[in-house]
Amino acid sequence: MDRLKHTRRAFLGSAAAAMAAPAFGAQTGRAASTPGGARTLKIGIASYSMRKFTLDQALAMATTIGIKYMTFKDVHLPRTDPPDTIVANRRKIEAAGITIMGGGTIAMKEPDQIRKDFAYAKLAGFPLIFAAPEPSALDFIEQMVKEHDIKLAIHNHGPEDKSYPAPRDAFNAIRNRDRRMGLCVDIGHTSRTGTDFVQAIVDFKDRVYDMHVKDLSDPTNKDAQVEVGRGVFDFPRLFRALLQIGYDGQVGLEYEIKEDAPLPGMIESVAYMRGVLAALTQPT
């Protein structure tokens, strides 16, 4: 009962703030009415959240939650599988009513392996790869992006990441490259660098192609992840900004805790995210 009360208080407080507070920037009112903005968001899940489970089990969990959008880690779509198996698993995902939004994170360094990874992504139906590329490999990666017409989004990994700790670092690496090269913003890792992740998303909006979302009780501690809505992140402000910039990528829950039994926390997190979105987009 205490847990339910806490969750209800957390949601109601944030939903009330979402409806009452001014929209991001100078706008007022609900974000859905912003000219040129998106009218909804694609709330999905990164399959890494279910990394201890098979693909079939992960799809069953997604069905339970009512998820229609997912990105896939290679634990569920192994890069080492034969092409026929990759295609068969892609069809299994699509038959489950899931739109494949991309896959990764894939480390990229050597040209031969990078070429194989793009061929794998094509077979798996990925419109986008989120990656941790070596800076020295970016020229070749750009060639592969053009050749395969697959987007490449650099995933920032926080203070421990020597190349791309924050979204700005990823943006600086691709700003003068093919427009299909962009960012996968992980809001937890971004927060740990002391960066305002909402402002970063707005600043680099034209190159933000994917997102990993989570909540932290301590914005600087990677071990402080909690169910979305129980931490300190301002999801109404984040969602309002995403709606206003017309973001059309996945808002992908990456639930990294309770890996042996993630479903209850994922259900709670997605329900909270949907509640905040509904508060922002309900008709006036």
Residue 235 in contact with residue 177, Cβ under 8 Å? no
The dihedral region occupied by 102, where left means phi > 0, alpha psi between -120 and 50, and beta the remainder, is: left
Domains contained in the chain, CATH given: 2-281 (3.20.20.150)
Residues of the chain with pLDDT > 70, as a percent, come to: 86
Residue 38: the pLDDT is 58
pLDDT in tens, 94-152: 999 999 999 999 999 999 999 999 999 999 999 999 999 999 999 999 999 999 999 99
Residue 245 in contact with residue 39, Cβ under 8 Å? no
Place of tokens 């309900």: 282
Residues of the chain with pLDDT > 90, as a percent, come to: 84
Work out the average pLDDT over 42-59.
Answer: 97
* Helix (H), strand (E) at residue 8: helix 2-20
Closest CA to 145 of 118, 108, 176, 168: 118
Examine residue 105 and say whether the peptide bond preceding it is cis (omega within 30 degrees of 0): yes
Residue 36: the pLDDT is 52
Res 21 pLDDT > 70:
no
Residue 283's pLDDT band, with cuts at 50, 70 and 90, is confident
Closest CA to 44 of 168, 130, 114: 130
Work out the average pLDDT over 192-217.
Answer: 96
Residue 39: the pLDDT is 84
Instruction: Tell me, letter by letter, the H, E, C secondary structure of 94-115.
Output: HHCCCEEEEEEEEEECCHHHHH
Three-state DSSP state, 129: strand
Res 24 pLDDT > 70:
no
Residue 230 in contact with residue 217, Cβ under 8 Å? yes
Structure tokens at 150: 């697959």
261 burial (CB, 10 Å; 0-12 / 13-18 / 19+) is exposed
Residue 88: the pLDDT is 97
Radius of gyration, alpha carbons of the chain = 18
Res 7 pLDDT > 70:
no
Instruction: Tell me, letter by letter, the H, E, C secondary structure of 168-234.
Output: HHHHHHHCCCCCCEEEEEEHHHHHHCCCCHHHHHHHCHHHEEEEEECEECCCCCCCCEECCCCCCCC
Cβ atoms within 10 Å, residue 238: 21
Res 164 pLDDT > 90:
yes
